[in-house]
Amino acid sequence: MARTKKIESTPVRIRFKELENGNKSIYLDIYYEKKRRYEFLKLYLIPENSSEARKQNKHTMKAADAIRAQRILEISNNRTPVTISEKAKVLLVDWVNEYKNRSIQQGKTSSENHVHSALKQLRKYNAKARLCDVDKDFLDGFVEFMKGQKARRTKAPFAKKTISNYLGVIITTLNMAVDDDVLSVNPGLAIDRKAICGEETPREYLTIDEVRKLI
């Protein structure tokens, strides 16, 4: 039986092209909906023969990473993830259970309670949702649902951190689906968990224009 070609699980990857002057041109390799395209960023890495060059390359890579993240968000935002495998028809609660079982087998038991609690909330929210049904709207709805839930002991509404942690469990299981080539993109990438906690996300990178000015 012929082997099927493995599809890259990450829809946007950073690539480099060697130039004659010794620099490296940075471009994005974007594979989505069975189509591949390249986006040249007009950003360049220079030979690291000084501390200034290393700093410049560091800033340039941060800008490239920011653009890559933006492209992933554009793919995942408000879109149902493209399925690669029939496994995507599995119930989401069953997939989360699969994640829990794998974690236990690997000795990663520290998050077991969080997974159990997240599963409990997920069953209340939508026990019949399939893995392929999950998109940003589904996850936003899950967050809103949890805002109306109360802790069993204190009877107080869930803390923002608790909601973020439970959502994080689901997003992590979706990452596993991407890694297993079941989904082509994780719709959870479009969710800002820090915003759920009421935290401001610090800007840890330069914009393209700022990098160009620096160069």
CA-based nearest residue to 66, from 87, 86, 43, 88: 43
Q: Is 63 helix (H, G, I), strand (E, B) or coil?
A: helix
Q: Is 36 helix (H, G, I), strand (E, B) or coil?
A: strand
pLDDT for residue 208: 56
pLDDT per residue as tens, the chain (215 positions) = 444 444 345 688 899 999 999 999 999 998 876 778 888 888 999 999 999 999 999 999 988 888 888 777 777 664 555 566 788 899 999 999 999 999 888 887 777 888 999 999 999 999 999 998 888 889 999 999 999 998 888 889 999 999 999 999 999 999 899 888 888 778 887 787 877 877 554 444 555 555 555 54
The beta strand positions in the chain, using DSSP E, are 12-18, 24-32, 35-45
Supply 29's token pair.
Answer: 């390799």
pLDDT for residue 141: 93
Q: How many CB atoms lie within 10 A of CB 170?
A: 25
Domain positions in the chain = 12-76, 86-196
pLDDT for residue 169: 92
Cα gap 25→42, rounded to integer Å: 7
Whole-structure pTM value: 0.59
The H-or-E segment that residue 1 falls in is none
86-196 domain in CATH 1.10.150? Answer: yes
CA-based nearest residue to 93, from 145, 143, 140, 134: 134
Supply 127's token pair.
Answer: 């026990």
The H-or-E segment that residue 39 falls in is strand 35-45
The H-or-E segment that residue 13 falls in is strand 12-18
